[in-house]
A and B are shown apart, each in its own frame.
Chain A
């Protein structure tokens, strides 16, 4: 389990993490989402033990992550911006990782050679295309047999087939070995398919952190046609995050369970009422809308 508690990190007066707290359960696939500059990569670098927090705690299986080789030996990391030694091939890097990771698995390396068959293992990684470099990164990371995989924008640059292939491998590791996967991505559609937990970051804090099902159950999109063209005044304790009107149809994003909200709106005797589940992308947009991060229509 990864526990991040009240972590603060400043960069030259800029507060990148502002009391951030999050918990990644063991064996979970945890999606970390948030706008640009929210602090996603920064928190991942704390979890991989690269950065030291100014205050707070970053614990992996109950141990401090920073400067702790025992923790780092459990964690494999694929950063957003990959780096490998000049002229080092996938094979060279595998030999290099073997010298550091106690569980490095050559048998798996051989097996994965078939999966990542487009990657020439003796060719310098820097000469590979971006997508192939990502494949090489996955290949190497998975051979380390990590208990925790930390992925920053992992499938960026991969073609759809390879994306599916990579996610499939990850899911299989999670299912078989109980690997914990912490993944940061802007591709919410994809995360929605694979993640069981989601944390939404904004301005160095976690706004919402729940299992994906909880998150989806706690926010509902209501499409309602009221008796009058104008929407009646709704109860003050009903937390409506967003309202849009097209013709007589009002679309409301309301915090709460679908059945509860349906019952409460039923008192207005709407002509038509329908409760729809929200996608992760919609949840992301509406949650952040409350934080002043929303889609602004340009004034032309």
Chain B
């Protein structure tokens, strides 16, 4: 037996080798399993690949990339396991006594355990790195950069999650509460954002449902999501830049969590071992926080599944009730007893009332969310989506971005008009009954369900969105000047807007680019048959003589040969495309918000489909051709198109709506 004495520095210092060694030997299953998993991810996989197919460069990169992508998940799991093992002594009054009566400062215990955790990850990572490098070098295929990127990710991700779990461990004194809190806190922000989005969607008419959950803030506060977002960003796979971002995120936040943990540990009341929350000021925060989360979650679940027909007032009551129950549950956990009613009813009732008041405040739009419109001068661009118009061709959905000040002002005016009609719009959302969509004969549309999404990109770079769903457009409001429906009608019929909207399907999307496009063919669908019968997608059956007559510009194919539609030659299609662009430029293309009489009288049932192709040049300067089918519905107002159809002798083949 070795009888040795240690220097006094070790006993009173910031690090204790004996404790470090004890940690390594006590908790070997953790780093052992971690090492085994890493071994299977890299060296074993490389060896298998080598023995099966011989290592190739792209396979090495692929294996390393897979291993790198696995590290956030491994870190998530092993981070908490390591923290649970190394700091479990704080969760038990007997082990607290053993460790804390030893002649070592708390900082010494903390640092020794922290370094133990670092060693649990760093040593296996280095061993696996060296093994993999040797295998790759032996096979003569080495992706050293990729391996270094893996090593960096493999080191920072587990350490980050270890520091996060360690920080949480300092706030709790219950070993089982630690993984539960860890799991919840890892997804708390995004979960709360989701619940608040649901609440906003229910309580506010024009709330954009994914506003919070899709925010950068939610992502940044959800580590696993953020790490994968950073690792997978860009189209070039896992790059140095990606891993550098991951490393910065992990190191900065990991350091913050470590310092918070150390600070809390220095002040920790050790007699709190066994308590769910050990820090005094956090206990009411936990209780009320649990109440809020339970209220929002279970209030929504109950409302959506059982009480939706009772209106949002019931939702508010359910949230308030569930919040009180959640607060009671929180108090039970804190006090470790079920008998908390007598002591806790006041705070639970207060939370319940605050929740109800807050939700009612949101519903009453006390903060002016619904009424908000931006100052046009502060808007950089605005994106407008969701309006569906007739005819049902490639211009049917209005989805455009406006950047010109006059256009922005126009959208803001429309936004203001929408807000002026908020009470009606809101009633429509909650009680859709009583809206007549069609006239008594079912022929003309009187109203239509629309939805409008407006995204403002403000001068400061922030994006503000509003979602109007449903926005019910009524015929009489379109006629009435100054209403949002009439402003919307003006917008969708603005020739520039129509042209831009039609052409947005093409990658380049401007009128000048459209001029470069060449028609390579086309067809007309839902035409009138020779015998006068009309069918959807019917053929135009013609005699061989007739076909020969029109052969220069149009080819009429017999039914059942190659196409069921009326085929156009390249020349005919080009003529129609040029004519349509002429009509677009001249403002002779009409759009309709309703399938009303004017729309039915102007628009044909038949659609014209033109296959367009254009030249593209990629980043490397290679030229290529892209093509796309473009569909528009011929209208009587499109005089140029009508003239070409007349010239081609196809005008009579266009089918019109039968009206009573």
Q: B97, A72: Cβ atoms under 8 Å? A: no
Query: Within the assembled complex, what's the spacing in Å between the Cα atoms of A69 and B97?
Result: 14
Q: A45, B22: Cβ atoms under 8 Å? A: no
Query: What residues of chain B lie closer than 8 Å to A185, measured between beta carbons?
Result: none
Q: A106, B92: Cβ atoms under 8 Å? A: no
| Interface stretch (choices A97-105, A233-241, A253-261, A270-278) | A97-105
Closest to A72 in B: B103
Q: A70, B103: Cβ atoms under 8 Å? A: yes
Query: Within the assembled complex, what's the spacing in Å between the Cα atoms of A51 and B108?
Result: 17
Query: What residues of chain B lie closer than 8 Å to A102, measured between beta carbons?
Result: 5-6, 8, 11, 103
* B377 is an interface residue with CB less than 8 A from chain A: no
* B16 is an interface residue with CB less than 8 A from chain A: yes
Q: A83, B97: Cβ atoms under 8 Å? A: yes
Q: A106, B1: Cβ atoms under 8 Å? A: yes
Q: A67-B105, A67-B106, A99-B19 are in contact. Are A83 and B271 (CB under 8 A)?
A: no
Query: What residues of chain B lie closer than 8 Å to A100, measured between beta carbons?
Result: 11, 16, 18, 102-104
Closest to B22 in A: A96
* A50 is an interface residue with CB less than 8 A from chain B: yes
Query: What residues of chain A lie closer than 8 Å to B6, measured between beta carbons?
Result: 98-99, 102
Query: Within the assembled complex, what's the spacing in Å between the Cα atoms of A79 and B92?
Result: 14
Q: A98, B18: Cβ atoms under 8 Å? A: yes
* A73 is an interface residue with CB less than 8 A from chain B: yes
Q: A50, B92: Cβ atoms under 8 Å? A: no
| Distance between B91 CB and nearest chain A CB, rounded to angstroms | 12
Query: Within the assembled complex, what's the spacing in Å between the Cα atoms of A79 and B103?
Result: 16
Q: A79-B97, A102-B6 are in contact. Are A69 and B104 (CB under 8 A)?
A: yes
| Chain B 1-39 interface mask (CB, 8 Å, partner A; 1/0) | 101111010111000111100100010000000000000
* A133 is an interface residue with CB less than 8 A from chain B: no
Q: A99-B18, A107-B3 are in contact. Are A69 and B105 (CB under 8 A)?
A: yes
Query: Within the assembled complex, what's the spacing in Å between the Cα atoms of A71 and B104?
Result: 10
Number of interface residues of A (CB under 8 A): 33
Q: Which one of B26, B92, B97, B106 contacts A45 once the chains associate, using CB atoms below 8 Å?
A: B97
Number of interface residues of B (CB under 8 A): 33
Q: A51-B271, A69-B12, A102-B11 are in contact. Are A83 and B104 (CB under 8 A)?
A: no
Main secondary structure of the interface of B (DSSP, over half): helix
Q: B11, A11: Cβ atoms under 8 Å? A: no
Which residues of chain B have a CB within 8 Å of any CB of chain A?
Answer: 1, 3-6, 8, 10-12, 16-19, 22, 26, 92-98, 100-106, 108, 269-271
Query: What residues of chain A lie closer than 8 Å to B16, measured between beta carbons?
Result: 99-100
Query: Within the assembled complex, what's the spacing in Å between the Cα atoms of A107 and B18?
Result: 20
Q: A50, B270: Cβ atoms under 8 Å? A: yes
Q: A99-B16, A99-B18 are in contact. Are A50 and B3 (CB under 8 A)?
A: no
Q: A67-B106, A100-B11, A102-B6 are in contact. Are A52 and B97 (CB under 8 A)?
A: no
> Which residues in chain A, 218-271, are within 8 Å of chain B measured between CB atoms?
none
Q: B11, A101: Cβ atoms under 8 Å? A: yes
> Which residues in chain A, 1-55, are within 8 Å of chain B measured between CB atoms?
11, 45, 48-52
Query: What residues of chain B lie closer than 8 Å to A75, measured between beta carbons?
Result: 101
Closest to B8 in A: A102
Main secondary structure of the interface of A (DSSP, over half): loop
Could you jot down 6 A-B contacts, CB within 8 Å?
Answer: A69-B105, A72-B103, A73-B103, A77-B101, A85-B22, A100-B102
- Beyond A45-B97, A81-B94, A99-B6, 8 extra complex contacts between A and B, CB < 8 Å: A50-B96, A67-B106, A69-B105, A77-B97, A82-B94, A99-B10, A100-B11, A106-B3
| Distance between B93 CB and nearest chain A CB, rounded to angstroms | 8
Query: What residues of chain B lie closer than 8 Å to A48, measured between beta carbons?
Result: 97, 101
* A84 is an interface residue with CB less than 8 A from chain B: yes
Query: What residues of chain B lie closer than 8 Å to A51, measured between beta carbons?
Result: 269-271
Closest to A93 in B: B98
| Distance between B647 CB and nearest chain A CB, rounded to angstroms | 94
Q: B12, A50: Cβ atoms under 8 Å? A: no
Query: Within the assembled complex, what's the spacing in Å between the Cα atoms of A110 and B92?
Result: 32
Query: Within the assembled complex, what's the spacing in Å between the Cα atoms of A242 and B47?
Result: 88
| Distance between A136 CB and nearest chain B CB, rounded to angstroms | 13
| Chain B CB within 10 A, most for which of A69, A82, A106 | A69
Query: Within the assembled complex, what's the spacing in Å between the Cα atoms of A73 and B104?
Result: 8
Query: Within the assembled complex, what's the spacing in Å between the Cα atoms of A111 and B100?
Result: 28
Query: What residues of chain A lie closer than 8 Å to B94, measured between beta carbons?
Result: 79, 81-83
Q: Which one of A73, A79, A84, A106 contacts B11 once the chains associate, using CB atoms below 8 Å?
A: A73
Closest to A101 in B: B103
| Distance between B302 CB and nearest chain A CB, rounded to angstroms | 34
| Chain A CB within 10 A, most for which of B16, B96, B97 | B97
